[in-house]
Structure formats: C-alpha cells, structure tokens
Amino acid sequence: MRKEVVLITGANGEIGHGLISHFAENEKTHILALDVMPLDDDLRSKCERFIQGDILDQMLLGRLVAEYEIRTIYHLASILSTKAEYNPETAHRVNVEGTLNLLRLAVEQATWQGKPVKFLYPSSIAVYGLPDIATKNASGKIKEEIWCQPTTMYGCNKLYCEQLGRYYTKYYRQLAADKNPIGIDFRAIRFPGLISAVTTPTGGTSDYCPEMLHHAAMGKEYRCFVRPDTQLPFMVMPDAIKALLELEKADQSNLSNLVYNVTSFNPSAQEFYDIVIKAFPNADITFEPDIARQGIVDTWPADVDDSAATTDWGWRPDFDQERAFNEYLLPAVKERYL
Ligand code: SER
C-alpha cells in the first residue's frame, strides 16, 4: 500500500515553514516535503519525509508517484521577482517547467486514484502590470481579470502557470480518444506581499516591508529600496496559511474562479516606517530608492479586490493592520531578537 501524503514543494521557503508548522500542530497530515535546499531541522521532524531535490528532476518526481499516494499538492517552489530578473531563463525553467512537472505528476496521481488531485498554487500580485504610477494611483482595488500585463519574468511565469492550471483542470488531452475525465482540481491564490515574524523572504520585490521590520528588530541598518509613498497590498503569514487551507477545503461547487485575490492591509512604505520606528526608536532606516526595483513595484497594484474570495469561500483575514503589528509581528520579532 502506498502511503497517503500531502506534497509540499519549496518546503523550506516562507510559506512552507508556515504550512508545515500548521499541519504538525493542528492536523494529522503526513507531509512529503521537497526543496532544493536542506530543510530546517525544526521542520524535518514534523514531516513524514523530506527529500532534498529539484522539481526539474523528472526521475525524482517519477519515484514519488511510485512510492506515495499524493492527495493534495501545495506547489510553493518558485524563484521570486527580483531574483528572477537576474537570470530570467533559469527562473522560467524553475517557475514554469517545474510547475508543468508537478501538474503532470498530479494528473498521473489522479489517474491512479480515480479522483482529482487538489493542486494549490500561490500566484502573486506580480501578475498585474499597471502602465504608470498615475494609473496605479487612480485604479483603487484591482479585480482579478484586469491589468494582467506583467513586466517581470516572475509575473509572466505566475500568470502563465495559472493558465496551465486551468488547462489541466478543464481541457487536458481534450482530443484524446481515451479521454480520461479525471484530472486535477487547481486552485490559485494571488498573494500580496507577505510578512512573517519568523522568516524573511529571499529575492522578492515586496521584501522592503519585512526587511525593514526584521533589520530594525535586529538593530541592523536598513536602506529601503523604494520611495516612502510606495503602496502595495500586504498580509501576514498566518493569514496566508489560512487562505491556502480555506481554499483547499472549499466546496468545489462554490468556486466560480480558479484564481483568487486575497489581501489584508496596504500601508505606504512611510506608514510602515512610522510603525517600525515607533516600536524600535533607535532603528537606523533610510530611504534610498533603487530605480529598477521601484519600477517593478510601481507596476503592481496599490490594492486588490478580494470580494470574489469572500463571496465564494468566505475569505476574511484575521489580522488587519493594527492586529498584524500589535498582536503578531511586533511581539514576535521582539521576542525573537531581543
Ligand atoms: N513577494 C513576491 C515578490 O516580491 C511577490 O509575489 O516577488
């Protein structure tokens, strides 16, 4: 008998950390964790098995199919937006070909099991591409179907993989004579910038908020790479984990979309600074905008409309801006670093 597991790729990333901790604390889920980097020791014991390997390694993925019954996949592995710009073709391989490999694995598993495999996919506000700052400032909350003209390789990859998910869910092998109706159940969330109290992101462009907070708490200087007036939607990690889990559990018949915006609060970098400096009055933070990275952030929306998620699966963040700082971020980073 093959063991029933939930597969988490990119397990050692920020969302992976939150997701594995949640499963270990709240549910008796057997986790099969995969990452190119070693998994942090405290997470290893929480997993049924950790495999250090690459999602581009088809032999490895093939062996997983043979060994495990994978009911749900959280495909978190990805190269984020800033890092992707330094080697766009490599990012494309990891973000697109890697996702294609996982979609194929999901279809194969579904065929074995005789029922669709759930495929949870973190997409991003990077799929949006507003043409200029005036349009960004005038656009308010952006709905899922507009301004999908990304300017980054990462944004292009995420947008295309959403489409691949739709294809594998609805149209896979649509001309085959032996057309198998069992496919995958793809569900994606377009995350805003994420802020965790216990980890820091690597290679993103919304990183200025979490970096500012963690540097201030560690007593390290921070040069913020965007202008003070820069505005993006954000969310704390516990709400990101909650969103993934709630979308996974949602009744398929209530889902009118395959892709949903979610958000919580959207401070300007100046507002974020004001909160951080109040909590850490000696923090050494200055604004030194990097024109290129600023250019990317300026194409991302100042806010997103997440009403479809609210209507279809009851989405509501637990943490608004005040709760996020006062009940989660500030107490946790103070305890961590002081
Ligand atoms: N946080 C991501 C990034 O900055 C966006 O999804 O790349």
pTM of the model: 0.96
Residue 49 CA to chain centroid, in angstroms? 22
Residue 174: how many CB atoms within 10 A of its CB? Answer: 8
> What gap in Å lies between CA 19 and CA 27, rounded to an integer?
11
Q: Which sign does the torsion angle of CA 233, 237, 240, 242 carry?
A: negative
pLDDT at 179: 66
Cα R_g (the chain), whole angstroms: 20
pLDDT at 177: 77
pLDDT at 156: 98
C-beta 193 within 6 A of ligand 1: yes
Bridge partners (DSSP) listed for residue 69: 4
> What gap in Å lies between CA 305 and CA 189, rounded to an integer?
12
d(CA 230, ligand 1 centre) in Å: 15
d(CA 165, ligand 1 centre) in Å: 20
CA distances from 192 to 81, 97, 151 (A): 13, 24, 16
C-beta 205 within 6 A of ligand 1: yes
| All domains of the chain in start order, with CATH | 78-194+235-265+301-319 (3.40.50.720)
Check residue 126 and report its DSSP letter. G
Check residue 99 and report its DSSP letter. H
**24 membership: H or E segment, kind and range:** helix 14-26
CA distances from 234 to 68, 181, 209, 238, 239 (A): 36, 38, 9, 12, 10
> What gap in Å lies between CA 313 and CA 311, rounded to an integer?
6
Among 199, 206, 266, name the best residue to mutate to test ligand 1's pocket (greatest count of ligand atoms within 8 A of Cβ).
206
Tens digit of pLDDT at every position of the chain (338 positions): 788 999 999 999 999 999 999 998 888 889 999 999 999 999 999 999 999 999 999 999 999 988 999 999 999 999 999 999 999 999 999 999 999 999 999 999 998 888 999 999 999 999 999 999 999 999 999 999 999 999 999 999 999 999 999 999 999 988 887 766 688 999 999 999 999 999 999 899 999 999 999 999 999 999 999 999 999 999 999 999 999 999 999 999 999 999 999 999 999 999 999 999 999 999 999 999 999 999 999 999 999 999 999 999 999 999 999 999 999 999 999 999 97
Which residues touch 23 (CB under 8 Å, ≥6 apart)? 6, 29, 31, 46
**224 membership: H or E segment, kind and range:** strand 222-224
Please say whether the beta carbons of 195 and 210 come within 8 A. yes
C-beta 206 within 6 A of ligand 1: yes
pLDDT at 161: 98
